[in-house]
Amino acid sequence: MITELISVGTEILLGNIVNTNSAYLSEKCAELGLSVYYQGVVGDNEERMKLVIQTAIERSDVVILTGGLGPTEDDMTKEVTAGLLGLPLVEDAHTKERLEKYLKEYENNNAQRRITANNYKQALVPEGALILDNHNGTAPGLIIEKNGKTVVLLPGPPDEMKPLFEEEVFPYLRKKQPEVIYSQMVKICGIGESQVAEEVQDLIDKQTNPTIAPYAKIGEVHLRITAKGENEKECKKLIKPIVRELKERFGKNIFATDEDKSLEEAIVDMLKDQGLTLALAESCTGGEISARIVNVSGASDVFTHGFVTYSNRAKRKCLGVKKSTLKLEGAVSAKCAKEMARGGCYFSGADICLSITGLAGPGGGTKELPVGTVFMGCCYNSKVITQEYHFSGNRSKIREQATAHALALLRECIMEGISKKG
């Protein structure tokens, strides 16, 4: 079923708030197998709202509106929608009672807030609408069925919208779906977006069901394989040979086949499986790699120390980098990265230490050592390897890429170290 999401609110058009409702609803609709073809935002303006909602009702089967259900005159999502569908607004006794109870309680706790005549506007509903009780605010949710179209109206605040959607709208829409949609993610690191695209082009060219969609992230490419079928089992059966083919093509570069698994999670899992501990010695990334690892719940089992050695003195004192290395080769050098990694293992007692030192700019670059030059080291099984990279872009872009590539290198080193052990 073709679905359209419309957020109503001038505050979104002014950029005062980020529209997280649409991201949430899109993900839920994907889960339901609804095809969201359009998202839109319109301000609290009657004429423009009419235009946007009318278009949506014409071209989509399901229209989900959020916002504009409040008590003020600016709030007119319900009025405009009912008008377009030719439905009169009638007072709902149950909603009126709920409102009075809700506002009474609120009044007791908040001296500044009073029940106003405006509030009773929220007890008016389009005739025949299904009313969804809002336990976290005053505006009820509404589901309207007319001429084969489903229009859902939900309040704008995420704290009110999400429970209403999850508890009432989700099960309602699930019942309407004839077909099951199921998708699986294949996540790749260490290969660029366009190369991945080229290597799967033949599969995309001949695809019908399932389909493959690539998503480029910094330092990663995600491929979503989506199948439609009568049930989940049939979908999984359609997806299986594609995943097998992708595994053959991208091999070790695939770090996850799980929707929710991040690269740092894959790394933490590998470390846990092998009973290894990790330390990090960062200069130019300034703690970003550590922060990524710590973002994994349970990282404390494997991650012990992070050294952010931004000064030369810190590199010497915390990691034992030699004075002569810093003097002769400089802080941004393979030798410094090597000593940082070795020192990180030594001083932390961890099994593996990844080090990184580089020039994120904008200043400090020379012809021999341009901005974007980054050296990484990895010490494991008492061996140290180093690698040189050259990234482009501004300071934060260079650091972001360096972080992404450091995680990919770390993963590779753990895999190789393990294979050499075996």
Q: Identify the residue among 98, 335, 338, 399 touching a second copy (CB under 8 A).
A: 399
The answer to whether the beta carbons of residues 238 and 226 sit under 8 Å apart is: no
Comparison of 145 and 301: residue with beta carbon closer to a second copy: 301
Least Å from the CB of residue 378 to a second copy:
17
Instruction: Return the amino acid letter for 396.
Output: S
> Where does this chain touch a second copy (CB under 8 A) — which range of 60-68, 77-85, 110-118, 338-346?
110-118
Whose Cβ is closer to a second copy: residue 146's or residue 346's? 346
Q: What angle do CA 361, 362, 366 make, to 5 degrees?
A: 70
Q: Which of 108, 147, 208, 382 binds a second copy (CB under 8 A)?
A: 108
Contact predicate 57/84, CB 8 Å: yes
Task: Find the part of the chain contacting a second copy (CB under 8 A) among 81-89, 188-196, 267-275, 377-385.
Answer: 188-196
Gap between the Cα atoms of 95 and 140, Å rounded:
7
Phi, psi of 196 (to 5 degrees): -60, -45
* Interface size with a second copy, residues (CB under 8 A): 119
Q: For the residues of 91-158, what is the DSSP string, one character each?
A: E-HHHHHHHHHHHHHHHHH-TT----GGGGGGGEEETTPEEE--TTSSSPEEEEEETTEEEEEE-SSH
Residue 201 binding a second copy, by CB under 8 A:
yes
Among 8, 19, 267, 404, the residue binding a second copy under the rule CB under 8 A is 19
User: Candidates 229-237, 240-248, 334-342, 386-394 — which segment interacts with a second copy by CB under 8 A?
Assistant: 386-394
Contact residue for a second copy among 94, 113, 383, 420 (CB under 8 A): 113
Which residues 38-67 are close enough to bind a second copy by CB under 8 A?
38-43, 45, 48, 52, 55
Which of 25, 132, 353, 378 forms a contact with a second copy (CB under 8 A)?
25
How many Å from the N-terminal Cα to the C-terminal Cα in the chain? 52
The residue among 48 and 272 lying less far from a second copy, judged by its C-beta, is 48
Residues 149-178 that bind a second copy (CB under 8 A): 157, 159, 163
* Residue of 7, 9, 19, 1 whose CA lies nearest to 59: 1
DSSP state of 365: -
Q: Are 209 and 200 in contact, with CB atoms under 8 Å apart?
A: no
Bridge partners for 153 per DSSP? 65, 142
Of 69, 289, 376, 410, the one binding a second copy (CB under 8 A) is 289
If 0-12 CB within 10 Å is exposed, 13-18 middle and 19+ buried, where does residue 418 land? middle
Closest CA to 348 of 302, 394, 391: 302
Minimum distance between the CB of residue 59 and a second copy, rounded to whole angstroms? 8
By CB under 8 A, the residues from 293 to 352 that bind a second copy are 293-295, 297-300, 303-311, 313-314, 317-318, 347-349
- Which one among 94, 133, 136, 383 touches a second copy, defined by CB under 8 A? 136
Q: How far apart are CA 147 and CA 125, in angstroms?
A: 18
For a second copy, the binding residue among 14, 208, 327, 367 (CB under 8 A) is 14
Q: Which of residues 224-243 bind a second copy (CB under 8 A)?
A: 224
Q: Which is nearer to a second copy, 260 or 421 (CB)?
A: 260
Identify which of 78, 98, 101 has the alpha carbon closest to the alpha carbon of residue 90.
Answer: 78
Positions in 355-384 near a second copy (CB under 8 A): 361-363
